[in-house]
Amino acid sequence: MKPSMKTAIFPGSFDPFTIGHYDVLVQALKLFDKVIVAVGYNSTKKGQGYFCPSTRVKIIKEAVKELENVEVCSYTDLTISLCRQYGAKFIVRGLRTTTDFEFESVIAQANKKMDGELTTVFIPASQEYSYISSTVVRDVLIHNGDASLFFPPQVDIKKFIKEIE
């Protein structure tokens, strides 16, 4: 890796990764040489979440298969530790609302306090996706609605739903 290469981590629960997340990732790729999409989960809690972390990773891999300079991983420790592991000095987070901003700015400040080298970059949601949240998408999935509306077209979400049945 070139020392000048700009790598960013895009961390999240991604339960599941939606078209809103995909849109943020595509925007991030215009700013960075490489973006690591990282599924964060708590390894001590069993049975948490809708999709298990490995399925979340598979969904993201399907979403990004046509993109270059993207890696997908999962992690259980602090995001700043993952950044150090990848030599990343940037964290990407998406912003939909002022509520997102309030929540995100506190986390960004805590991460900066722990590692002064890190910068969090906020990317605004595109207007057409700004209402999409993983919570709403999970609800649609649980009630057998047409969830494909909330994923990039290359993701065949029905295949992954079968995995949890």
Q: Which of the residues are catalytic?
A: 21, 45, 96, 134
Nearest position to ligand ADP, beta carbon = 20
Kindly tell me which of 5 and 164 has the beta carbon lying closer to ligand ADP: 164
Q: Which of 9, 12, 34, 37 binds ligand ADP (CB under 6 A)?
A: 12
Neighbours of 147 (CB within 10 A): 21
Residues 17 to 76 in contact with ligand ADP, rule: CB under 6 A = 18, 20-21, 24
Whole-angstrom Cα distance, residue 140 to residue 135?
Answer: 9
C-alpha neighbours within 13 Å on the C-beta side of residue 24: 27
In whole angstroms, how far apart are CA 158 and each of 55, 58, 118, 148, 152? 12, 13, 38, 8, 13
Whole-angstrom Cα distance, residue 165 to residue 162?
Answer: 5
Residues 74 to 103 in contact with ligand ADP, rule: CB under 6 A = 93-94, 96, 100
Q: Which of 8, 59, 132, 157 binds ligand ADP (CB under 6 A)?
A: 132
Interacting residues toward ligand ADP by CB under 6 A = 12-14, 18, 20-21, 24, 93-94, 96, 100, 104, 125, 129-130, 132-134
